[in-house]
Chain A
Amino acid sequence: MENKKSVDLVTSLGIKALTLFATVKDMFYLLMQILHWLFIGPFKGKAAKRDSIFDQMVFVGVKSIVIVFFIAVFTGFVLAMQSAYQLQQLGAVIYVTGLVAVSITRELGPVLTALVVAGRVGAAITAQLGSMKVSEQIESLETMAINPVRFLVVPRFLALLIMMPALAAIADLSGILGGFFIGVTNLNINPYLYIEMTKEFLALKDIMTGLLKSAVFGVIICLVACYKGLNTKGGAEGVGKATTESVVTSFVLIIVADAILTAVFYFGNM
């Protein structure tokens, strides 16, 4: 009996591993298809339509500005207050300026933006593609000789790739603004000094690595959301399940990718 149980455990682990492997393989294949339609398709007169790219950019980017702004500003508030609480004991409150600027641009700006976009846009993409899949719309595109990856995925990919760094830049600015607000009103730092100190501490590479990260997060969100959407099965319930999975998977992958990228930048001396 004992033996049988352990065999079952091994079997189920094996099945899980194989499923995971297949998922990763399929996502990689999806990425290859996207790259094909991005770089080879246009030379065969089969580019993604500019209108739909623009529509998606508005949806992904413009309509996320407000929420990204609020989240970053409040994170800036909290960061400034929490670090001031510690730094006061050392009499080094002025270092709040650098701490807020560097942690927002390197880390929190891109990551929080990615989580917001994964929740707002990633979920919407999965739900939309998923319901198109279960109501025969994806199949109908195929029968019209219209490639669903080119028609539906590529515009979303481009929109996320372009708009994620733009949103992260907005988050960077708003976060620093939040810190500035607390620094000037609550910590009695001279506004001019705050700006000068921020400039002093902040290096271009801090901003660049952050923006690079956010572009990678954009690719992750697109791949996960589109993959989950296009592989939806089983009616309305299936769409709900796919959407949840899409958001959870995106969150996990974003955090993991963040750790890996940070390690690369850190050990690569960037």
Chain B
Amino acid sequence: MESLRGLTSTPASAYDELVTGQKSIRYHWQGILSVIRSLPGGGLRERVESARRQLEESGATVNLLDDRGAPNWTFDPLPFVIAPDEWQTLERGLVQRAWLLDALLADVYGPQKLLRDHLVPPMLAHANRHFQRSCKVTDAKAPPRYLGQYAVDLVRLGDGRWHVLADHTEMPSGIGYALEIRRVQARSLPEAFRAIPVRHLRPFVDRWNDSLASMAPAEIERPSMAVLTPGALSATYFEHVYLSRALGVPLVEGGDLVARDGEVSIKTLAGLRPVHVLLRRLDSAFADPLELRADSALGVTGLVEATRTGKIALANALGSGVAETPALMPFLDQLCQRVLDQPLQLPSLDVWWLGEPTAYAFAMAHLDSMIVRPCLGADREPIVVGMLDPADRDALVKRMAAQPGHFVAQYPVTPSLSPKWDGETLAPAAVVLRCFLIAEGHSYRVLPGGLAREPAGDTALRSLGRLNGTLKDVWVLAEDASDVQLPSSRRFHQLSVERGGADLQSRVADNLFWLGRYIERLDNDARLLRTAVSRVAQGVIGPRDSAELRQLGRLIDRANLMPTTAALAMPESAAFQQGLASVASDRRGLAAILDAIQRLTDTLRDRFSADMTSAVGPLMADVRGRLLAARGQLDPLLAALDELVRFVATLSGLAQENMTRGTGWQFLDLGRRIERSQFILGSALGPFRVSPIDWDASMRLALELCDSTITYRTRYLGQLQPAPVLDLVVLDDSNPRALAFQLHSIRGHLERLGRASGTRVPDMLHELDIDFERMVQMFTGEERSWRHEGLALAVLREIVEDAERRLDDLSEAITRAYFSHVPAAQSVGSMGR
């Protein structure tokens, strides 16, 4: 185990980032240390807490979870500082490496001359899981660039030199986290940024926009770009949303895109809108079910063919992951000399590719002190041979002997030590640096910053490509202050003022519409249950309550919130009361609606402001907790239902105040209004549709369910009569809970959507006004005449049923007109057996 010491302890050979051999603090660290020393009050501790909270709220810690479902990284307030001259050297080395790997990919997917000339072992491409044969350029255009983006993990060894630990070329993630961590860092330590010339990150992001635009086909004057994500379940979805915002381009999923005649377009409300460059965060293998993995539901059918025409560029190009195998590292020196005619500036860690007999013999001789990694398949988890039990070791040796070319071996590394905040004071910790590059013109640009991390676990190698452990900001110091304020090259003239947003993706419109419906459904169901629970919770059920509860039981059954037998049982019975008390734990009812809302808000995260997202998450968790805690007991349930109604009110308030009244909001509100209309017709007017009618219960419930009891009392001093009750809940368009108000809003939305998108939905509701007028009219006049008027009720039932039907038709018409209501894609023919 001697040789493993480097993994678990802090050996003397580690390079110290902070202190020189002569025990003096290195010059570039002095600024930050003096800032920390002079922090007032709670010092760094206070700042850390607020920063961590901010990161949680922004969602940066979401999804990136460890196996146990906990966020797998935490923020360290102490940045990693790099001196200007050292950064320049690093920058040159990184740019050269990007060049080299890009050239390698162009060859692997082109003439394969480097493979033929014995510079790169051919199996590193041929047996590599990232090698996409359909992307070979045979008779079509080559992508303008393979690596539009690139990330590198680096460690500084005892000799003081940076070495490459890992290359990330398939989907180099982390930059969104770096940008977010910088934002939080700047807010938590503002005095440091005033005192120290730290290079800014924003200009890089502006250049990135240009970089992507420059990959578009030359003839396109105003290229349109998008971030392609696998969706909200992706581990790095936060970053996809973040990048789409930072770059000011839409976030799209495969289902939002269609490929036709070599062109790729986004499905929007106004039809197909061409897109020319995709920042790809979707695994190449899943990008096209036609020519790549047929079982992918995430891709775009025909995308590979579209890339052949050169009308769409992907960053990175499909199949770029070939270049990230560590097995390439031993060959890069020679490759660099040959391809770029210069020595490789940035060394890699020593890696032995076991496909070479000499390397294999060497690794076998030193196996117990080495780390072995599969290097071509999907699983590339490093194996610390010294820690294996004899049986596992034998199995590994057998696998290596059978397929030596599928493995690399290397020694454990001892990363340099950099100060971190351990909660009390500064302590040294191992550090791995991740740097980011983007293509720019004919070269590459390096983000003057990055992510530094103290890897979780015992070795830097084990947590290689992951964003885990402790993350920190990277400060690249400027030569002088003038270096800090780089002018942005962003071309503002490219943006034309746009309002209305007919370019809203159909999928997003669809999701917003349903979010609106589910939010409203939650509100309705909570009110319905509250109305019932409040009557039962009083203890003694009087005859009036009992009559109302019977009606409510029917409505609750109709809304599918309780098992039918319980809902229709006598209100005094244990079955009814227990059923009611346990609605909170019924998976079909409230919980299912909350799940749907959760799913939709997660998916729509990129449409909402950060404030909204950070407010909704905790509220949602709180409401769920209360519901769960209330199971079986009426009083806490009543409180939880109150909470639920308040939650919906908060959600509506946030949407009301934070969303622009664009098409997105129109769909959200349209969903709500349709759902509320259906609630009024089905639930609030429900008791009127039961015969024989219980007049008092019907009228009281109609008012209560439409939250209009107080208005009625103020207007009519409490005397219940059908005509004024129906007027208030149906015809009064100043009452936001009345049917007329909903219909009015729906019509307004449809009108505006029709204008914005050019697609109109026929007004299916317009005669309803007259019908409702007529309906209420039936109940006016002498008390005697309406009380025994079965005709009036028959008319009411008929009109209400008709209205319900028309609303259903409308909902379907909206779906057909605006949402990409395409049937699911399926593969035919044989992918093989």
A and B part of one assembly: no
A-to-B contact residues, CB < 8 Å: none
